[in-house]
Structure formats: structure tokens, C-alpha cells
């Protein structure tokens, strides 16, 4: 690869795209809300939230010195991330804490990048993270889910116009910000029925001796805060447009 080619790629990645039209921010927010609210669409799209959830577990496990054993993504949109290391202590606590807040925090990071019009950088970072996650997937459905998701993001970033890329990126970020919240309510609903005795919140309760409901509230507080802050960031783009 020539120096000119590397320079072109670098400029493509880190250059700012033109400001999107203001209406795009509102239309994409409404689209993401529809996907989350309309159950048939949510059943399919929720896989993206699960990918982010399990990716959050995996990333924090590695950052805290644990050894990642593998990730499974299931057809029912559940998932499992296995890591090796001390069964107690801060590393395990932060690893468990990361899952339910990861989609919203990723969405918040995406909103920050969109605030700087770094749309191409956002899409390529998504592809890179999905490729890293694919290495650790341990079941067929999980591998297919990550490959399909990554292929869609790559195709949009490589083959479509800047306008399509912007619309796709905004829908994706809005979806993570909004879609990060419902799983917390689903978690508590299942817990109240005794159907998730080994949930992240219950495991945190066992490690910290703080009630599981407290951890559910922490998940919800972080996710709502990310939605509000990210929403204001994106609204700034609307007002600027």
C-alpha cells in the first residue's frame, strides 16, 4: 500500500463530514423509537443490543485482567460471556456491571462522534469492534449475527453516499441510546417472576452484599443518563441544522 493510499484512508477516517440536515436527526430518532416500540421489529433488532451487552462484559473483563473464554449469542436474544479469573473482587464486579450499561454508553460515545461529524470513523470503529468480538464467539448463531451486523455496517460505510451513511449512523446511535433502557425493565420483570436467579444484578448482589434491586436501579440510572446526555448532543446537531 502506497503512502498516498494510507494518507487517503487516514483523511477519510478522521475528516469531518458536512453537517446533516436538521430534520435527519428527528427522523432517525423517530425511526429508532419505532424499532424499539414495535415488538416484531424489536425482536430482531434487539440482537444488536445483545451484541453490545456481551461486548461490554468482554471488554471490561479484558481491561480488568481477566481471561476471556468466549461469547455466545442465542436466537432468543440472550447471551453469555465467560471469563476466567478471581470469582470475587473488583474485576468480577466491573465485568458484571458492564453488560446492561454497555449499549447505552456505546450510544453515548457514538453521539459524541456524531457531534463532531465523524460519521465514517464511527462506522469503521463499529466494524473493528465487531471483528474483535467475532474472534471470541463460540457458537454458530452468534458468529452469523456478528458477521451479518458487521457486513451491513461495512457495506454502508464503503459503498453508500455520505447522506445514507449519516442516516444509518444516526439511526444506529439513537437505537443504542433508546434500546439500552427496555432490557433493564425486562430484567426486573423476569427477576420478579423468579425466572432469572443468576442475572447480572443477582450475581452482583452475591458479590457485594448489596440488594440486586439496587444494581437494577444503577443499570437504569446509567442508561437513562446516557439517553438524556446523548439526546442533548444529537439535538444540538438538529438545532445546528
Q: Are 170 and 114 in contact (CB under 8 A)?
A: yes
Interval 166-223: pLDDT, tens: 999 999 999 999 999 999 999 999 999 988 989 999 999 999 999 999 999 999 999 9
Q: Where in the chain are the domains?
A: 20-240
3-state secondary structure 52-119: HHHHHHHHHHHHCCCEEEEEEECCCCCEEEEEECCCCCHHHHHHHHHHHHHHHHHHHHHHHHHHCCCH
Interval 68-105: pLDDT, tens: 999 999 999 999 999 999 999 999 999 999 999 999 99
Residue-level pLDDT at 108: 98
3-state secondary structure 15-33: CCCCCCCHHHHHHHHHHHH
Global pTM reads: 0.93
Amino acid at each position: 500500500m502506497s503512502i498516498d493510499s494510507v494518507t487517503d484512508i487516514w483523511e477519510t477516517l478522521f475528516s469531518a463530514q458536512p453537517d446533516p440536515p436538521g430534520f435527519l436527526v428527528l427522523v432517525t430518532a423517530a425511526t429508532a423509537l419505532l424499532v424499539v416500540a414495535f415488538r416484531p421489529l424489536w425482536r430482531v433488532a434487539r440482537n444488536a443490543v445483545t451484541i453490545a451487552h456481551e461486548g461490554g462484559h468482554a471488554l471490561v473483563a479484558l481491561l480488568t485482567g481477566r481471561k476471556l473464554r468466549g461469547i455466545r449469542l442465542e436466537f432468543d436474544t440472550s447471551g453469555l460471556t465467560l471469563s476466567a479469573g478471581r470469582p470475587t473482587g473488583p474485576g468480577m464486579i466491573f465485568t458484571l456491571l458492564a453488560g446492561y450499561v454497555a449499549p447505552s454508553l456505546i450510544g453515548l460515545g457514538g453521539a459524541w462522534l456524531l457531534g463532531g461529524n465523524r460519521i465514517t470513523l464511527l462506522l469503521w470503529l463499529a466494524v473493528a469492534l465487531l471483528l474483535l468480538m467475532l474472534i471470541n464467539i463460540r457458537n454458530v448463531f452468534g458468529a452469523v449475527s456478528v458477521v451479518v451486523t458487521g457486513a451491513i455496517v461495512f457495506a454502508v460505510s464503503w459503498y453508500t453516499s455520505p447522506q445514507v451513511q449519516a442516516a444509518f449512523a444516526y439511526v444506529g446511535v439513537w437505537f443504542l441510546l433508546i434500546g439500552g433502557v427496555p432490557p433493564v425493565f425486562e430484567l426486573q420483570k423476569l427477576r420478579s417472576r423468579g425466572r432469572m436467579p443468576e442475572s447480572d444484578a443477582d450475581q452482583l448482589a452475591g458479590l457485594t452484599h448489596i440488594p440486586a434491586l439496587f444494581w437494577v436501579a444503577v443499570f437504569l440510572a446509567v442508561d437513562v443518563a446516557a439517553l438524556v446526555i446523548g439526546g442533548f448532543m444529537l439535538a444540538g446537531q438538529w438545532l445546528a441544522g
